[in-house]
Amino acid sequence: MTGHHAVLVNNLTEAQDIIKIIGSDDKAIAYMGPKAVYRIIKLKNIRSFVANIIKQEMLAKGGEAAVNKQSLFAEGYTDVLLMGTLKQYRLLIKKLSLQPFNLKLLAEEIESILNNLEQDFYPILLAQGRSLEVGSRTLIMGILNVTPDSFSDGGDYYNPTVAINRARQMIEEGADIIDIGGASSRPNSNMVAEDIELSRVLPIVEALADEDIIISIDTFRGCVAKACLEKGAHIINDIGSLQLDTELLPLLVEKKAPVILMHNRMQLRTNEPYDDLISNIVEELYSSVDEAIKAGMDKKQIMLDPGIGFGKTVVENRIIIKRLWELKSLGYPIVLGASRKSFIGKTLNSEVDDRLEGSLAIASLGIMNGANIIRVHDVKESKKIAVMTDAVMRENG
């Protein structure tokens, strides 16, 4: 079998490019492309008899669907694992749209997931009337902790002058965003009072407001967000996913400011175990997204962060990196903040100041698996691996 080989296809664009190389005509490429892309979609908590309808319809289209074995004989609910090509999904969606039992809505949700998985570009509306194109390349968010007690660089940039100089250094090294934090959220830390947090971050915001850089504020507090946005900040990076301060969401709507919603089981739902890691993360992030949209936020003002290290074990953090792509199902840009985190140290048996290589490896894997923005301490090195990883992952052929 000289020259014969398997072909890796990640999305519809790649499938069409590969078919084009064969020499097929344009109509054939458009027709065959959806047959070359295989997707697995997990549906949650479907009534048993409805799940069996879905299963039979998917089987009729040449696909497959796994349900709980008890669902064939008893009332109740089951998850459904759909397996098929884009072509088979299109046929399934068409058929389910004509069915009762709220299957039309479910068909729309399946179609939305499939479309989201193919999405590469996300225009983000920033505060101050600015915008940000996310997706054409990986963006670098430089971490600037102006605290005495952050897990990695606590105290390094506590002095405002030193912090401002570090911010400008990160800009020169290729940072697209500077993320300023004035309250440590590391495990077992006590959150400082809001006036202390504000006194730390506000001078930095004021100093950088005239720089050609996007300013993000790492806070869950509405009052801190308000003061920083009024001084020129563009993004609020909320570890609380809108759940730690009820004043934050109406403020974001009022100021037309975007938010990064981070999954968190350290400050939220503390010590609650996961029964299905990725599904739980998706469900909890979706709940915050839904709350934001209903309150009046624009979809173009929302980004998502899986919350590496926030209520996850070492193994769970590694699984999230491996399966990060699944978060694309929600249809929002993915921000990955794994730099120097303890799961890297525990994996490599290295202290916090010896985690550069591990952090870079995780950043590259994250980009390969769907991260659009990487939040990092080491901007210069991370910029290089982002450019290299982008060059490989976005290459046609």
High-pLDDT (> 70) share of the chain, %: 96
88 shares its domain with 211 = no
Q: Is the pTM of this model over 0.85?
A: yes
Count of domains for the chain: 2
81 shares its domain with 110 = yes
Mean pLDDT score, 66-90: 93
Residue 136 included in any domain:
yes
Residue 223 included in any domain:
yes
Is position 55 annotated as part of the catalytic site? no
84-135: per-residue pLDDT in tens?
Answer: 999 999 999 999 999 999 999 999 999 999 999 999 999 999 999 999 999 9
185 shares its domain with 98 = no
Residue 23 included in any domain:
no
52 shares its domain with 148 = no
Residue 72 included in any domain:
yes
195 shares its domain with 113 = no
Of 118, 147, 171, the position where a domain reaches its end is: 118
Q: Which of 375, 380, 383, 384 is catalytic?
A: 375
Residue 18 included in any domain:
no
Residue 10 included in any domain:
no
Of 99, 118, 137, the position where a domain reaches its end is: 118
CATH number assigned to the domain comprising residue 357: 3.20.20.20
| b/e per residue 21-35 (b: at least 16 CB within 10 A) | eeeeeeeebeebbbe
Q: Which of 221, 231, 341, 383 is catalytic?
A: 341
Residue 52 included in any domain:
yes
- Least confident range from 100-114, 136-150, 185-199, 288-302: namely 185-199
CATH number assigned to the domain comprising residue 45: 3.30.1370
98 shares its domain with 230 = no
330-344: per-residue pLDDT in tens?
Answer: 999 999 999 999 999
Is position 341 annotated as part of the catalytic site? yes
In terms of residue numbers, what domain contains 241?
A: 122-393
109 shares its domain with 128 = no
Contact 221, 197 (CB under 8 A): yes
Torsions phi, psi for 259 (to 5 deg): -135, 145
Of 118, 145, 169, the position where a domain reaches its end is: 118
Mean pLDDT score, 151-179: 86
114 shares its domain with 131 = no
Q: Which residues contact 322 (CB under 8 A, 6 or more apart)?
A: 365, 369
User: Exposed, middle or buried, 204 (CB in 10 Å: 0-12/13-18/19+)?
Assistant: buried
83 shares its domain with 166 = no
107 shares its domain with 136 = no
72 shares its domain with 152 = no
